Structures are given as C-alpha cells and as structure tokens.
Amino acid sequence: MKILRLTYKNVLKHLFFKINKSYSLNKKQQNFYKKKNLLIGKKNYQIFTLKNGSIFMDTSESKYFYIYKNFILQDLSIDIKGLNKNSNIFKYGITKFCKKFDLDVISIISGRDAKDNYYHWLIDVLPRLIILEKQFRKKNMNLLVPDYNISYQKESLNCFLKDKKINLISLYNHKFCQFKKIILCSNNENFEYFNFALLSKMKKKILHQAKKKNIFFGKTFEKIYISRIDSRNIRSFKDNVKIEKVLIKKGFKILVLSKYSFLEKAVIFNGAKIIIGLHGAGLANIVFSKRKTKIIEITSNKWPDMFEKLSKCMNLSYKKVIISNIDKKTNLVNLSINKFMKYF
C-alpha cells in the first residue's frame, strides 16, 4: 500500500511539473505588483494590487501562495516562513489544475485554518474588510474568501457588504485560481490585526448591524461561562457538571455558543462584565467586550497566548488560571474547583 501511494505521488509530481512547471521565490517582487500604505491607529498596513496573478492553497502544509507566472511572491503569501527545498511546492510542484477566472477579485484570504475556524475567521479574515473597505465602492464585486458555508461566515460578511451585490468565490473549493486582478492586504506578521483602532472599527460595524436588526436580550448576562459541549475539539473539564453547578449558584449564565447567531454572540459579549472560559475559539468573542471587562481564561502554559494578547489589545482586565493536569488520551482537564473559585 505504501509503495502504491509513493508511486501515485511520483506520477502526479511528474505530470504536474510538465503542466504547471516548477516554482521559485522571487527577490524582485515589486516589479510584479503595486502597493500602497494605509495607516490605521498606530499601525501601517500595505494594500497590494497584482495583475494576472494566481493564488494556491496548500492544505497539507497550510500555506497560501500568491504567484505571478512561476514566481512565488513572498511578501504577499501567507504562513510561508520556514519554506525550504523540501516544501511541497518545490518538491512536488502544484498538483492541481489552475481555475482561470476572467474577473477582478478582492481577496480576504487568510491562513491558520480560517476556512472553518471561528477564531481565525473573526481575527484574521474580517479585519481585512476594514483595511480594504475603500476597495468596496462598486455595488457589484467579486470576493475571494477561505470558504463561506458556515452560518457565522455568511452573517458576518453581511455586516460589511449588505448593500453590495457580492459574488463569493471559495478558495477551499478551487485551491488554485488565477484572476485578471487581485487586491489584497498585509499577510505575514503574526497577530498583525491585534490593533485597537482596527478591531474597534470592526466591532463598531458589527454591533451597529446588531442594533439595526434589534438584536437584544430581555435579560442581560453580566456573568457568562463558555461551555465547550458543542466544540469540535474534545478539550473539556473532567468535572464539568460540578464546575457549572458552582458557577450557576454564583450567578453565571452557562453559554453554549452554537445556540446563538453571530450577531447575538457579539451582543452577549458586549454586555457581559465577567467572562470565563477554557482556552478555545469561543473566547475570540471578547473582541466585542467593553473596556475593563473581566476575562478569566483557563489555560495551559503549553497552549498559545492569543487571548491574553487580545485582551491587552482591547483594554480588557485579563487573568488566567493555569492548568497542568491534562489527560493526553482524552484531552480532559482536571482542575480543582477550590483553585478555580479563588479567581472571582
């Protein structure tokens, strides 16, 4: 079986090297595209215009390449640090047929699993709509997105593009596309959009849309706890029921976020005064919280610290409960209730 897979890979490799040829990094990239700067708050972003360019999504390595002819445009491409001669695009070439669109497109493509991950959609994709908003002057336009099949993707895009006639193109569906013109913005820096001015503009637009739709709750939830019962990731508490019972007695609302629409979540997090959650994508909604809102994240030193950074960016009052006892087989977290309760 292993020999058959290797043979199949080698056949694809030789076939597509003949069709697509080989690719190389280009050092004089500015010859291939135009760029201009845009200052938002204290941070400068670059907006690029690439004519007759292509974009390739390598799902196996989670890398996204902007390409002109057979040159990889390093400044435009996404998550390509550590690219070397053994990377797929050099070793095997692009083993996809290029779908050619006779269209101009605005790209809000992001790496980091944005096609189906709520955190990366909210923090890596939607801020691009603020940076590129002057490009959305026409009523009819084409928008290249990681994907658009999940309800929060459609609902959030509508907050920015409601009065426009938008043709959505999913890179996930096509993987390798060429366009007459691609307009895009800065990509490479990690936490590039952790910018108070930028995220505040995004937050304001979304909450304004919620207000227009009269989305509110008769009873506000001042204290909320994010349940992970609906998560794709099985990470959760071993004594989850006990913890939730204690929190309910303390006046907390237990939130199963999948039960709420995108705009409802924005309103809920904007109204809360204390938010508690185990490390996970649902905590991305703290971007909608008011200044000084108390955030308590239950996390491990081995997990990323993006919610601490996001809290600092948005002027929230952040604390973390460090856990060390995690079952490697089940991913269940063992946390002492007494240790947990001392934080509030």
Query: Is the Cβ–Cβ distance between 216 and 267 less than 8 Å?
Result: yes
My answer on whether 191 and 229 are in the same domain is no
**Alpha carbon 43 to chain centroid distance?**
19
Q: What is the dihedral of CA 59, 178, 105, 24, to 10 degrees?
A: 70
My answer on whether 133 and 231 are in the same domain is no
Last residue of a domain, one of 153, 175, 195: 195
Measure Cα distances from 177 to 16, 32, 98, 144, 270 in Å: 15, 17, 5, 10, 39
In a domain, 148, yes or no: yes
Q: Which residues of 94-122 are buried (b: 16+ CB within 10 A; e: fewer)?
A: bbbebeebebbbbbbbbbbbbbebbbbbb
My answer on whether 138 and 271 are in the same domain is no
Instruction: Report d(CA 211, CA 301) in Å as an integer.
Output: 38
My answer on whether 246 and 328 are in the same domain is yes
My answer on whether 154 and 239 are in the same domain is no
Q: Which two tokens stand for residue 283?
A: 């905590």
Which DSSP state fits 286? G
My answer on whether 121 and 19 are in the same domain is yes
Instruction: Report d(CA 35, CA 296) in Å as an integer.
Output: 41
Domain region containing 250: 223-341
Please list, in sequence order, all residues whose beta carbon lies within 8 angstroms of the beta carbon of residue 339, skipping any fewer than 6 positions away.
321
pLDDT at 84: 86
pLDDT at 233: 59
Instruction: Report d(CA 178, CA 113) in Å as an integer.
Output: 22
pLDDT at 324: 73
In a domain, 140, yes or no: yes
Q: What is the dihedral of CA 8, 9, 10, 13, to 10 degrees?
A: 120
Which DSSP state fits 195? -
Q: Given the DSSP bridges, would you call strands 63-68 and 71-72 parallel, antiparallel or unpaired?
A: antiparallel
Which residue's entry shows tokens 């992970």?
228
Beta-carbon neighbour count of residue 335 at 10 Å?
Answer: 20
My answer on whether 106 and 228 are in the same domain is no
- Which residues, listed in sequence order, are joined to residue 143 by a DSSP beta bridge? 106, 168
Residue 235, domain CATH: 3.40.50.360
Which DSSP state fits 318? E
Which residue's entry shows tokens 């060429």?
178
Instruction: Report d(CA 49, CA 66) in Å as an integer.
Output: 11
In a domain, 162, yes or no: yes
pLDDT at 29: 63
pLDDT at 88: 87
My answer on whether 288 and 147 are in the same domain is no
Rounded to two decimals, the pTM is 0.90
- The size of the chain, in residues, is 344
Query: Is the Cβ–Cβ distance between 313 and 261 less than 8 Å?
Result: no
In a domain, 179, yes or no: yes
Instruction: Report d(CA 132, CA 182) in Å as an integer.
Output: 12
Number of domains in the chain: 2
In a domain, 200, yes or no: no
In a domain, 112, yes or no: yes
**Alpha carbon 122 to chain centroid distance?**
5
Which residue's entry shows tokens 């002819």?
69
My answer on whether 253 and 321 are in the same domain is yes
My answer on whether 14 and 69 are in the same domain is yes
Mark the ranges of the chain whose per-residue pLDDT is less than 50. Answer: none
In a domain, 173, yes or no: yes
Instruction: Report d(CA 79, CA 82) in Å as an integer.
Output: 9
In a domain, 189, yes or no: yes
Q: Where are the beta strands (DSSP E) in 139-175?
A: 140-145, 165-170
Measured at the alpha carbon of residue 114, what is the angle toward residues 232 and 210, in degrees to the nearest 5? 85
My answer on whether 180 and 267 are in the same domain is no
Instruction: Report d(CA 299, CA 259) in Å as an integer.
Output: 24
Comparing C-alpha atoms, which of 74, 77, 75, 35 is closest to residue 56?
Answer: 77
My answer on whether 122 and 13 are in the same domain is yes
